[in-house]
Amino acid sequence: MIAKKCVHIVFTPLLFSIIFLIIRFYIISSIFFVLFLLFLFFFRDPYRETGEGIISPADGIVMESGRRIAIFMNLWNVHVNRAPLSGKIMEMKHTPGKHSPAFMEKGENEHLSIKMETEIGMVKVVQIAGIIARRIVPYVREGDVLKKGDRIGIVRFGSKVEVYLPENVKIVVREGDKIKAGQTIGVYE
């Protein structure tokens, strides 16, 4: 399945590939076709089983583990992000900013902060744009009630997602762990 709000990005190179194929510019057609295949891979949105407890909102590598779990998504990860718990979105705040490499980012990059009231208290998910990622596309709005694992949005082309959890949570992931969206990252006590 192709990620919501990304179909036009995926199929535009295919359209150009067909046009250049018709006018017999085979090399240019091939380049656009390869670009189509790359976009098809990048903007995928596969089905995911939802784990127990608090789940990861993103695929990637855990960069920090604690009350704040930072997950770096490289270009090969699925970039559709998910709700870590069921709850109601209380606040969404978009902050414009830089486009520094996400793995080195110090809070100055463009980001979207989503605060959710959940059964364990307030949980915050922050989607952060990186050097290549230039667009955060939310699928949700303030006031929406979500189930754990619901899609909340996509950060296009490499980025980072942070999850801020309350004190009554036992974290089960560690720095360096490779995780997938929907996989358990914490349990509430």
Q: Which of 17, 29, 65, 159 is catalytic?
A: 159
CA distances from 183 to 12, 84, 85 (A): 33, 9, 12
Dist CA 116 CA 133 (whole Å): 24
**Whether 159 is catalytic:** yes
> With 0-12 CB in 10 A as exposed, 13-18 as middle and 19+ as buried, what is 184?
middle
CA distances from 173 to 61, 65, 91 (A): 10, 7, 27
Residues assigned a catalytic role: 159
